[in-house]
C-alpha cells in the first residue's frame, strides 16, 4: 500500500523534474516545492513509521528507544537533532544521530550491532522501502524541524572532532585523487548539471545542505540520511563503503554541521 | 546580561587552550586512525585505495597549495610517471565516447560497478567540450574549441596527452584526476581523447 502511494507521488515529482529541469537544472526547485507544500513530502510516511519503531518495545531487552539519551536527557526527542553531533560521556565519544542510535539499540535494547549494520540503506534500484534505521533517524531528526542548527562545541572532544573532520575534508586519495574539497571546495561549482555546495566555508551553502537532511530523495524514492550521503560521496570518490556510524563519518558530519551553524533545519527535506 | 558574555569568553579561552595543545600531529594521527576504521573490511572493498602517495600527501597537507619547492618536486615526479604510446593522436570518434562515459570503478558490497563495466574519463563531469552537450560541469575550464584555439601541432598534442595522463605533471595538486598514472585510462584511450580535443573534424572544434 505504502509503496504504491509513494511511487504515485514519485511520478508526479518526476514530472515536475522535467518541468524544472528545462529552466533551472538543480535541486533548489525541490526544496522550494517542499517549503511550499510540505504536507506532500513522502518522507512524512517514513517519519510515522519511524515513530512507531522508536516507541515500540524491541530488541532482546524488550524496551523502547524512549529509554535512551540522545543528548538532552532520557526519552527526549524534541530538539536533539539540532544539537548533534555532540560528546556523550557514557561512550566517551562524539556521536552523530546515527552512531548514537546504534549505541541505543545495542546497549539499551539489546540488538546485535553486526546484525543492525547488515542492511543500513534501502536499495533504490530494487525499489525497497526504507530500512528501520533510516525511518528511525528521520523520525528523530524531524522533531528538530524549524530549529537552529546548533551543535555544541564547548567540549574539547567536540572541537577535536571538527578539526579531524576538516582535515579529512581535504584528504585526497583513491584512483581519482579526490577529496571532498575537489567538489565542495569552491563557490558555484557543478558536476555535470548538479550544483555542489561550497562547504569549505561556513555559511549559506552548508546551512542549506545540512538543514535539509535527512531528505526525501526523489531519484531514490526513499528517505536518505547524512550517513548515506557521506557513503554516497565516498562512492563518487571511488573509495570503499564507509562503516556506518564510524568516527570517520562522524568527524565529517561534525565538520559540516559546524560550518552550518545558525542555519535552520527544515525537516524532513526533499531533494533530487 | 553580563553572565552569558563571561561564559562565552571563558569558552573561547578554553578553546584556545585546546587548539594549542592539540597540535597538527595529533590531529593527523586521528585522521589516520579514523581512516583505518572508517571503511568496511574485506577484499571487495579494495582498501589499498586508501593509501596516499607522496604527492597526495603534500596536496592534502597544504590543501592544494604546495610551496614552490614542493610544487617543483611534484611536477618532476609526476612527469616521470608518463608512458607515451607510439601515436599520441588517436581517433576522435572513440575519444568522444571515452570523454562522455562515466569513470566506473566503484567498489564495495553495497553498489559496486561490474568489473567489466567500460571505464571512461567522465570528462563532462568537470568540462564543457562538444557544444551540443549541455550537461557539462564547470570544475575544469571549457574545452570547447580547444584544438582550434591551441593548434593541431606536436607541442599541443604532447601537452594535451601529458595533461590527461598526469594532470600534475603540469600543475602540482591539480584538481583533475591523474587518469593514466592511476590506471583509470590506458594510453590508447588517452590518445583518442587527445584527438577528440584537437582533431579539426571533432565536434569540439566545429
Ligand atoms: C566527485 C564530486 C564529489 C566529491 C568528491 C564529493 N561530493 Fe558531495 N556531492 C556531490 C554531488 C554531485 C552531490 C549532489 C548534489 C545535488 O544533489 O545536486 C553531493 C552532495 C553532497 C551533500 C548534500 C548537499 C545538499 O545540498 O543536499 C553533502 C553534505 C556532501 N555532498 C558532502 C560531501 C563530503 C563530506 C565529501 C567527502 C567525503 C563529498 N561530498 C565529496 C559530489 C561530490
Ligand atoms: C574533477 C574534475 C575534472 C575532471 C573529471 C577532468 N578534469 Fe580536466 N581539468 C580540471 C581542472 C580543474 C583543470 C584546470 C587546472 C589544471 O590545469 O590542472 C583541468 C584542465 C584540463 C586540461 C588543460 C586545459 C588547458 O587550458 O590547458 C585539459 C586538456 C583537460 N583538463 C582535459 C580533461 C579530460 C580529457 C578529462 C577526462 C578524461 C578531464 N579533463 C577530466 C578538472 C577536471
Rounded Cα distance, A145 and A211, in Å? 9
Q: What is the pLDDT of residue A172?
A: 98
Distance A214 CA to ligand 1 centre (A): 14
Per-residue pLDDT of chain B (206 residues; tens, 9 = 90+): 344 444 444 444 444 444 444 588 999 999 999 999 999 999 999 999 999 999 999 999 999 999 999 999 999 999 999 999 999 999 999 999 999 999 999 999 999 999 999 999 999 999 999 999 999 999 999 999 999 999 999 999 999 999 999 999 999 999 999 999 999 999 999 999 999 999 999 999 99
In chain A, where the domains are located: 2-271
pLDDT in tens, A120-158: 999 999 999 999 999 999 999 999 999 999 999 999 999
ipTM for the complex shown:
0.89
A163 and B37: CB-CB below 8 Å?
Answer: no
The finding on whether B139 has its CB within 6 A of some atom of ligand 2 is yes
| Phi, psi (rounded to 5 degrees) for A96 | -90, 180
Contact residues, chain B, for A98 at CB < 8 Å: none
Distance A184 CA to ligand 1 centre (A): 7
Rounded Cα distance, A176 and A179, in Å? 9
The finding on whether B123 has its CB within 6 A of some atom of ligand 2 is yes
Note every long-range contact of A30-35, with CB atoms under 8 Å and residues 24 or more positions apart, other chains counting: A30/A218, A30/A270, A30/A271, A30/A272, A31/A208, A31/A212, A31/A266, A31/A269, A31/A270, A31/A271, A33/A270, A34/A212, A34/A266, A34/A269, A34/A270, A35/A266
Q: What is the mean pLDDT of residues A19-30?
A: 44
Cβ atoms A248, A121 nearer than 8 A: no
Q: Is A180 a residue of the active site?
A: no
Q: Which CATH number fits domain A2-271: 1.10.760.10, 3.90.1150.10, 3.90.550.10, 3.30.830.10?
A: 1.10.760.10
Report pTM.
0.91
B59 and A172: CB-CB below 8 Å?
Answer: yes
A114 → chain B, closest CA residue: B40
Cβ atoms A89, A96 nearer than 8 A: no
The finding on whether B167 has its CB within 6 A of some atom of ligand 2 is yes
Q: What is the pLDDT of residue A24?
A: 39
Q: Hey, how many other C-beta atoms are within 10 angstroms of the C-beta on B150? A: 17
Residue labelled with grid coordinates 534501502? A122
Distance A138 CA to ligand 1 centre (A): 19
B137 → chain A, closest CA residue: A192
pLDDT in tens, A182-218: 999 999 999 999 999 999 999 999 999 999 999 999 9
Cβ atoms A135, A83 nearer than 8 A: no
Q: Which residues contact A107 (CB under 8 A, 6 or more apart)?
A: none
Rounded Cα distance, B197 and B148, in Å? 9
Secondary element (H or E) of residue A164: helix A156-169
* Secondary structure of residue A100 in the 3-state scheme: helix
Rounded Cα distance, B54 and B37, in Å? 22
Amino acid at each position: 500500500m505504502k509503496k504504491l502511494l509513494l511511487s504515485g507521488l514519485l511520478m508526479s515529482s518526476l514530472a515536475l523534474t522535467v518541468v524544472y529541469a528545462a529552466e533551472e537544472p538543480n535541486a533548489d526547485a525541490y526544496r522550494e516545492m517542499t517549503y511550499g507544500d510540505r504536507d506532500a513530502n513522502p518522507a512524512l510516511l517514513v517519519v510515522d513509521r519511524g515513530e512507531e519503531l522508536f516507541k515500540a518495545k524491541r530488541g532482546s531487552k524488550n524496551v523502547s528507544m524512549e529509554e535512551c539519551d540522545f543528548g538532552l536527557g532520557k526519552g527526549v526527542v524534541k530538539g536533539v537533532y539540532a544539537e548533534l553531533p555532540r560528546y556523550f560521556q557514557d561512550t566517551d565519544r562524539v556521536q552523530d544521530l546515527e552512531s548514537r542510535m546504534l549505541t541505543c539499540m545495542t546497549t539499551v535494547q539489546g540488538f546485535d550491532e553486526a546484525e543492525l549494520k547488515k542492511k543500513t540503506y534501502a536499495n533504490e534500484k530494487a525499489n525497497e522501502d526504507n530500512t528501520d534505521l533510516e525511518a528511525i533517524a528521520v523520525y528523530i531528526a524531524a522533531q528538530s524541524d524549524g530549529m537552529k542548527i546548533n551543535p555544541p562545541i564547548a567540549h574539547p572532544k567536540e572541537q577535536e572532532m571538527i578539526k579531524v573532520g576538516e582535515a579529512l575534508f581535504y584528504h585526497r586519495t583513491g584512483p581519482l585523487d579526490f577529496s571532498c574539497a575537489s567538489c565542495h571546495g569552491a563557490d558555484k561549482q557543478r558536476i555535470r548539471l548538479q550544483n555542489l555546495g561550497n562547504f569549505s566555508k561556513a555559511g549559506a551553502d552548508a546551512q542549506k545542505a545540512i538543514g535539509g537532511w535527512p531528505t526525501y530523495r526523489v531519484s531514490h524514492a526513499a528517505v536518505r540520511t547524512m550517513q548515506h550521503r557521506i557513503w554516497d560521496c565516498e562512492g563518487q570518490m571511488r573509495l570503499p563503503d564507509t562503516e556506518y556510524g564510524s568516527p570517520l563519518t562522524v568527524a565529517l558530519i561534525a565538520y559540516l554541521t559546524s560550518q552550518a551553524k545558525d542555519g535552520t533545519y527544515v525537516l524532513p527535506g526533499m531533494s533530487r | 546580561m553580563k553572565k552569558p558574555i563571561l561564559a562565552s569568553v571563558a569558552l573561547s579561552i578554553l578553546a584556545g587552550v585546546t587548539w594549542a595543545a592539540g597540535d597538527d600531529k595529533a590531529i593527523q594521527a586521528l585522521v589516520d586512525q579514523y581512516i583505518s576504521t572508517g571503511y568496511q573490511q574485506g577484499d571487495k572493498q579494495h582498501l589499498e585505495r586508501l593509501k596516499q602517495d607522496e604527492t597526495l600527501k603534500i596536496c592534502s597537507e597544504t590543501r592544494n597549495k604546495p610551496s614552490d619547492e614542493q610544487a617543483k618536486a611534484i611536477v618532476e615526479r609526476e612527469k616521470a610517471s608518463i608512458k607515451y604510446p607510439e601515436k599520441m593522436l588517436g581517433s576522435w570518434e572513440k575519444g568522444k565516447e571515452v570523454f562522455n562515459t562515466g569513470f566506473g570503478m566503484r567498489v564495495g558490497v553495497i553498489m559496486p560497478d561490474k568489473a567489466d563495466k567500460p571505464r571512461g574519463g567522465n570528462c563532462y563531469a568537470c568540462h564543457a567540450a562538444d557544444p551540443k552537450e549541455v550537461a557539462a560541469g564547470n570544475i575544469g575550464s571549457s574545452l570547447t574549441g580547444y584544438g582550434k584555439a591551441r593548434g593541431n601541432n606536436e607541442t599541443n598534442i604532447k601537452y594535451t596527452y601529458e595533461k590527461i595522463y598526469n594532470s600534475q605533471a603540469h600543475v602540482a595538486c591539480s584538481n583533475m584526476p591523474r587518469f593514466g598514472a592511476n590506471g583509470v585510462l590506458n594510453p590508447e584511450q588517452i590518445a583518442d581523447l587527445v584527438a577528440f580535443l584537437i582533431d579539426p573534424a571533432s565536434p569540439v572544434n566545429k
